[in-house]
Each structure stands twice: as C-alpha cells, then as structure tokens.
Amino acid sequence: MRCSVQLVADQLSALMMPGDALCLDTRGDSETYPLLSSELTPLLISDHREGAIMRRRWNLPALKEHIRTSEPDRKWLLSTVDSVYQSLCIYEYHKSLAREAFAAYHAKHDPDGIKMFAAAMMAGTDEELEEFAVAKIASEANLIAAINITRNTFDIFAQIVNALALPQPLQIEDCTISKVRDVLPEGTLRTEITRVTKLHWFRYLAGFSNTIKHRQLISHKPSQKYEEGTGEYLGGGAEVAAFKHHSRKFKSYWVQEVLEGTVEMHNEIVSLGITLNEHCLTPALP
C-alpha cells in the first residue's frame, strides 16, 4: 500500500496544522511505508497530559513483526495494519484540501471580504461564481471525507485490538471500537480506549458520520468571520451547522475548528497504537 510520494509527503510536512502528528515509526519497513523512512524527520505526537510535551511515535514495523512471529495464524492482520497507515495518508489528503478550499477568500487574499461577499450574492463574473461554487463543493466534500476516514480508522484499529488483545475475539462483522472496549480485560489499553471514546471530538465525529450516513447531510454554509469586539475581518470560509445525534447536541463550528478536532483524534489513534504495542510487546511479569 503506497501513497503518492509527491502528494502525501507535502501533506505530511508543509500542510500540517499546529498539533498535527502522523506519528508512525516505519523504519525497517520501507517497502510498505516508503514515505516515512529513517532519513525523514519523525512526525511526533504532542502529548500535554503530563504537563510537558512528550515526543512519542507508533512503531508499526515492530507490531507487524510481532504478528509475523507470535501470531502466525493471523497474518491477515498485516494488511489491517497497512490499512491504518493508508487511512492516515488518505486523511491528510482530504484534510489539506478541505482547509485550502476557501484559500482565495482568506483575509490575506480578500482583506475586506468584498470578493466573497460578491460571490455569495451572485454578483461576480461567471469565472468568479464558478470559483466560489467549486470552493463550496471542495470544502464540504473533503470535510466529509476527512471526518469519515477518521471515524473509520478507529474501527479498523479495533480489528487489530480484537485479534491481539481479546481472549475470545468478536466476530469481524461485529467489531467496532466501542464493542471491543466493552469486552477488553481491565488494564491500560481498555482505560485508554475508554478515555478516547468519551472525548468531545470523538463523539462529534461519530455523531456527524452517523447522521450523514443514515439521515441527511449537515448544512455546510459559506460564511465570513469577524473578531468579536473589534469587528476585524478574519476571512471567509465555511461553517458547519449545529446538529443533534441521539440525545447529544453539537454546536456549529467553522470548518477549520472541525479539522483541528480531526487532528486531535488522529493523535489519539497514534496514542492508542503506542498503547497497543506496549500491551503486545512488553514481556509479561513472572
């Protein structure tokens, strides 16, 4: 499984947001992970829970070697590990496209918001109106893709946990991150998965994904942002409407805010991967 070197390498460096981290240690497995060799600067997770920034990475080759040597009957899991990596690459692609969709209307390019206002009022030239229409579609389509691939990656990860950490694994078709969490033995891995699945952004992404899958799309409206108090124009973009999923209500957010939430969840996926490695690779005490 390979990502386009030119495209995704750019996503993994120049287009990273503050706090972004694709924290995968792929050294020793360069055939499968050509983009993240030992010659590249590691992309590290920023963990502030201890009061100081900790630099950590998920060692995928070590996990795959464990599967090859200790779980020879489950070598199909190797492709599942690859799927997690590939999902993170796909996410980076859609995240950057969603973030840049309205770049022409950011404050540095449209300092007074006149260009975006005119386009929204259908008052521009045909070329300007087409540019605006493309920006709207690109923003919504890529945000949906980024959210869905993030939520799906948790369940792909759950397949690995299911096979490696449960004494009696669930059926593959019944395996989700929540169901695996509920039957895991007590320990650090269960504690960490429980913590992550209670986070606001995990619940937001799960609610968003389920709503657009089963009910309807959530309104994605171009809008202009101003600084509260001063009225300073901050630029144009898109706003995701508030919605309700089951008993939970989620407020409206700017696309940039939702993307930051997806970054947080990708950091958590990597953090859970590190915990899984510790669970599988740490020798049991006598």
Of 30, 25, 29, 28, nearest to 45 by C-alpha is 25
User: What are the domain boundaries of the chain?
Assistant: 5-281
Q: How far are the Cα atoms of 8, 11, 170, 231, 260 from residue 17, in angstroms, in the given order?
A: 14, 10, 37, 26, 8
Given a contact cutoff of 8 angstroms between Cβ atoms, the answer to whether 47 and 53 are in contact is yes
63-90 pLDDT per residue, tens = 999 999 988 888 889 999 999 999 989 9
The percent of residues in the chain predicted with pLDDT above 70, rounded, is: 78
Q: Give the pTM.
A: 0.80
Q: What is the DSSP string of 158-169?
A: HHHHHHHH-SSP
**d(C-alpha 62, C-alpha 71), whole Å:** 13
Q: How confident is the model at residue 285 (pLDDT cuts 50, 70, 90)?
A: very low
